[in-house]
Amino acid sequence: MAEDPVIELEGKILQVLPGTMFRIELPNKHVVLGRISGRLRKNFIRINPGDRVKVEMMPSDLTQALIVFRLRDTAPRTSSPPPRRR
């Protein structure tokens, strides 16, 4: 049995809902309901509002998505240098 094709997109988390569900805004301004994949659940990956994520959608149902990857921030983090030893 052949697998159905999947649509991969990037999105932004708008809202965290109960039951590990999320509202995700896609680049075309559509808002879909997303859930996390088993790999993210297994590795305790935290997803917060404002995070960018990679989602997969089935062509048969374009209202739901599966979050498969949390994208890293592109902006460098500013941190203070380590304390000096005497």
Question: Is residue 83 predicted with pLDDT exceeding 90?
Answer: no
Element (H, E) at 39: helix 38-42
Task: Answer yes or no: are the C-beta atoms of 30 and 13 closer than 8 Å.
Answer: no
52-60 average pLDDT score: 95
Residue 61's domain is classified under what CATH number? 2.40.50.140
In a domain, 18, yes or no: yes
60 in a structural domain: yes
Residue predicted with more confidence, 25 or 4: 25
Domain count, the chain: 1
CA 34 to chain centre: 8
**Could you tell me the residue range of the domain that residue 61 belongs to?**
7-70
Establish if 84 belongs to a structural domain: no
User: Residue 27's pLDDT is what?
Assistant: 95
Dump pLDDT digits (tens) for 22-46.
999 999 999 999 999 999 999 999 9
- Which is more confidently placed, 59 or 85? 59
In a domain, 38, yes or no: yes
Residue 46 forms part of a structural domain: yes
